[in-house]
Amino acid sequence: MKKLSLFLVIGLFAGVYSCKPKEAKVEEAPLIERKSIELKSDLMTPEVLWSFGRLSEPELSPDKKTVLYGATYYDLAQNKGNRELYTIGVDGQGLKRLTETKFSEYQAMWSADGKKIFFMSSETGTMQLWEMNPDGNGRKQITKVENGINGYKVSPDMKLLLYTTDVFPEKQFQDLYSDLPKASGRIYNDLMYRHWDTWVQSYSHIFVAGLTETINKGKDILFNEPYESPLMPFGGMEQINWSPDSKVIAYTCRKKKGVEYTKSTNSDIYLYQLDNGQTTNITDGMMGYDVAPVFSPDGKKIAWQSMERDGYESDKNRLFVLDLTTKEKTDFTKNFDQNVEGLVWTDDNKSIYFISDWHATDEIYRLDLADGKIARITLGIHNYTGVIPAGDKLITTRVSMSMPAEIYSVNPSDGQDTQITFTNKDILGKLSFGNVKQRWIKTTDNKEMFTWIIYPPHFDSTKKYPTLLYCEGGPQSTVSQFWSYRWNFQMMAANGYIIVAPNRRGLPGFGQEWLEQISGDYGGQNMNDYLSAIDALSKEPYVNKDKLGCVGASYGGFSVYWMAGNHKKRFKAFIAHDGMFNLESQYLETEEMWFVNWDLGGPFWDKNNKTAQRSFANSPHRFVQNWDTPILCIHGELDYRIVATQGMQAFNAAILRGIPAELLYFPDENHWVLKPQNGVLWQRTFFNWLDKWLK
């Protein structure tokens, strides 16, 4: 108290003696762009991680000679980022910067004739559509939509514009608060009142307008429909597309609301005819998640991604094609035991390229429609994140655990790739990364489990290293060759840790049987898989089995909380980020009920449901009496998927049990950590905790 009082006194005196300060000259914050940084060593730090340029959204010019893309750089002092646009030849030559503003440019696309580049910017206060010449000159605003736009697509004939913007329905219960202008209360009478990190007060609708000088408002093709397109929270403009003749809009929508919406994943593909406003559901009767429609170049077919079962968000993602003339639908992935993502047609209408995960890497595949055969194009220790046909080559982005995203060209005949962009070459050249190895480990039920092992830079096999078990979230998302700006394996390795990252039961890329085993079996076989992985590595002479840690987020956080009560003294430190701690409260706190209904088996009050009762019996909070190991709990207040009280419950339980614990709480973050300074704070807290108990 005395110390605090002294600081207050100093503050008061500082105010008194400053008297009349000179008028300070307000300096504008500098433009955020690539910086030249000096490293103190060849090991990565949080500050270095946040200095990487983040490349995204490559778009190929109509003549297939030039790639348009964006790169984002962050500034820790300003606590924000800035995104600029660039072009480069498909041969890697002629890099050109197009923009140099303090207003990030997003969703840049070429016009059909290649003479203009469209993009979104908030330069005038709200996000609007702009255009410029391919050399970056002639910047001009096109839309002046009242609430701004969320996304857009220009029609192939360049006469029309579709854009998405939020529609705010009329307030209900106005008679209750019309005379209470300062009242902040909200009244709800149905579910799905909040989603991901937002209280739901509006819907994203699709508008169409003529592509004129200034667009204020177009026609709402979902007028008076209380539904959204694209779908929250992750759907983007890939869920909406023009037909090649500019006469039809294909869009994704789940035309449900309230309880029905929150219990169902059944979205559909709709075709909207511009000439008469007629809307047709082309996936009527298909009960799962149907998204991302893509017309063939000749307009005769449409392809999309389709899941079969309602309520299952991690069902197999199939590739469906509809012949618009015969109305015949074909599932081209009946015998393909993998998921498909990012469908794109070839110019000759004969093939479709897509991305699929197999054995923990995301590769490029091609479907030939004539014979229905699927061919794998690429193979390696990396992830491809999209593909664009460009004549005799493919343009794609590639990442790995050892390199952030860059643009590559791929030879489709042999799968060989060539790097085109080198956004982070200068930083990467100054860093030493640890080796990434593949290993198959036998599980308790005699299966083989693929596991990544990441070693520290300058690894010395004669030494013993503290080692971390990484627990993946999802729960059904692969541990592939991803590059993360939070869960970055090379960052962990740079701090002197070996990382064990298993593709345990419940992850894609190893067939549907392996993927689906986890449903209704939380705390079951997948936990044994984790223990099999860390036990196998603990036998290595370079692993210090007395200095093991366990870390993870989301379902990975659940895994950590579960391990805390069931690890039998294997671990000396835990870190759980946004994890599920109490499954009974989680069931009623989360927003998407289909998730907990499918994964947990149903509500905890259904005593006759054996699957549900087994799930809730394995809730981590039921094993707190066994906790004996220091734990760091991290959570964001804006996380409505797994609410912050889950982390608080775990932290409180640890403190009340006398277990050393810390709570890192972010009042302004959701299920992720997105702000630069929060990101650095996360990294520092993460490693301070591990170092305290494992070094």
- Quick one: 397 exposed, middle or buried, by C-beta within 10 A (0-12, 13-18, 19+)? buried
Instruction: Please tell me whether residue 124 adopts helix, strand or coil conformation.
Output: coil
Residues in the chain: 695
Q: What single-letter amino acid sits at 484?
A: S
Residues facing 470 on adjacent strands: 551
Could you tell me if 382 and 419 are in contact, meaning their C-beta atoms sit under 8 angstroms apart?
A: no
Distance (Å, whole) CA 504 – CA 472: 9
Q: What are phi and psi of 359, to 5 degrees?
A: 55, 50
Label each residue of 63-103 as H, E or C.
Answer: CCCEEEEEEEEEECCCCEEEEEEEEEECCCCCCEECCCCCC
As a whole number of angstroms, the distance between CA 376 and CA 355 comes to 10
Q: To which residue do tokens 């003549």 refer?
A: 63
Q: How far apart, in whole angstroms, are the C-alpha atoms of residue 151 and residue 120? A: 8
From the list 599, 592, 529, 573, the residue with the least C-alpha distance to 689 is 573
Secondary structure element (H or E) that encloses residue 129, with its range: strand 128-132
Rg (the chain; Cα; Å): 26
Helix (H) or strand (E) holding 110: strand 105-110
φ/ψ bin of 569: left (φ > 0), alpha (ψ from -120 to 50), beta (otherwise): left
Determine how β-strand 151-154 pairs with β-strand 661-666.
unpaired
What is the distance between the alpha carbons of residues 440 and 425, in angstroms, rounded to a whole number?
A: 32
Contacts of 437 (CB under 8 A, 6+ apart): 452, 453, 454, 455
Going by the DSSP 8-state scheme, the letter that residue 27 receives in this structure is P
**What are φ and ψ of residue 691, in 5° steps?**
-65, -35
Residues labelled catalytic: 554, 639, 671
DSSP assignment of 366-421: EEETTTTEEEE---SSSEEEEEEEETTEEEEEEEETTEEEEEEEE-TTT--EEE--
Best CA proximity match to 237, nearest among 289, 159, 292: 292
**In whole angstroms, how far apart are CA 695 and each of 289, 455, 576?**
47, 16, 19
Which H or E run includes 142? none
User: How far, in Å, CA of 70 to CA of 224, rounded?
Assistant: 36
**Residue 321: both structure tokens together:** 């094609």
Nearest in space to 592 (alpha carbons), one of 166, 188, 191, 189? 191
Strands 498-502 and 543-553 come out as unpaired
Q: For residues 201 and 188, is the Cβ–Cβ distance under 8 A?
A: no
